[in-house]
Amino acid sequence: MVNIVGILNITSDSFSDGGLFLELVDAVEKARSLITEGANWLDIGAEASNPEGEKISARKEIERLAVILKVLKPEKFRISIDTYKPEVIKYVLQHGVKMINDITGLKNPESIEILSGSKVPVVIMFARNKNPHAEKTTRSYTTLLDEIKSFFEERLNTLSKAGIKTDRIILDPGMGFFLGGTPEPSLKVLKNLKELKKSFNRPLFISTSRKSFIGSVLNRPVRERNYGTLATEIWAYLQGVDYIRTHDVKPLNDAVKMLQAIQDIK
């Protein structure tokens, strides 16, 4: 069964919905809506990771997260936090968060130490950029699968030695500008999802939602990428991806239910 992960960005500058959910009342309404529409998880991010996104302090990130976590905690939602800062990871674990989604692949030794003392699952993402924000650099995709495999092999080995058991780790091969400034790297990864899953026998986590490569292929602005997004998400589901992170939960949930009904008929 696939886990649908609803995106909740409480930022001023996320590429798709920056500023829409900065106010607490809007963020809480959106969180409840995502769950009602079929999300199994909420993935809350307080810092945008797009190339133009502002880098904010851990303190500011915690301030943004604290108010919404206080409201949502009694509602028992399964919450993941999209962060790479050890101070933020420590804070949210103390406040009942059930998963960490680290777009830097959990490279910070302090973050590793904090998470080694917990039992929550951790999403580690592959990215070609050297800082936490994506880059628009054009990159070849001929060696991409080998790069991803080498990265995950190293991280799984390092994290296991540090006390984070492999069965807690979820793998995200990255998408969009995290892989390169053209569509081909993302398309290459999508085409080879089964191979990546087979190579590591770990759950895969994918987030194609409204990404740049969809806009490039279809020549669509961000707000007109929903159908292209859904196509990539259905593809990911059919390749056996375990977690699909999306802005648009309801269409994906409906699509998955129909696919499951077809697959289950005798």
Closest CA to 78 of 121, 22, 49, 113: 121
CA distance 149 to 174: 12
Catalytic residue selected from 64, 245, 250, 266: 245
Closest CA to 106 of 48, 95, 118, 14: 118
**134 in helix, strand or coil?**
coil
Whether residue 103 contacts residue 178, with contact meaning beta carbons closer than 8 Å, is answered with: yes
**203 in helix, strand or coil?**
coil
* 75 to 40, 116, 193, 246: CA distances (angstroms): 13, 27, 34, 21
Catalytic residue selected from 90, 128, 211, 225: 211
245 is annotated as an active-site residue = yes
Convert 226-256 to b/e letters by CB count within 10 Å (16 or more is b): bebbbebbbebbebebbbbbbbbbbbbbeeb
CA distance 33 to 170: 26
CA distance 20 to 27: 8
Whether residue 83 contacts residue 100, with contact meaning beta carbons closer than 8 Å, is answered with: yes
139 is annotated as an active-site residue = no
- Catalytic residue annotation: 211, 245
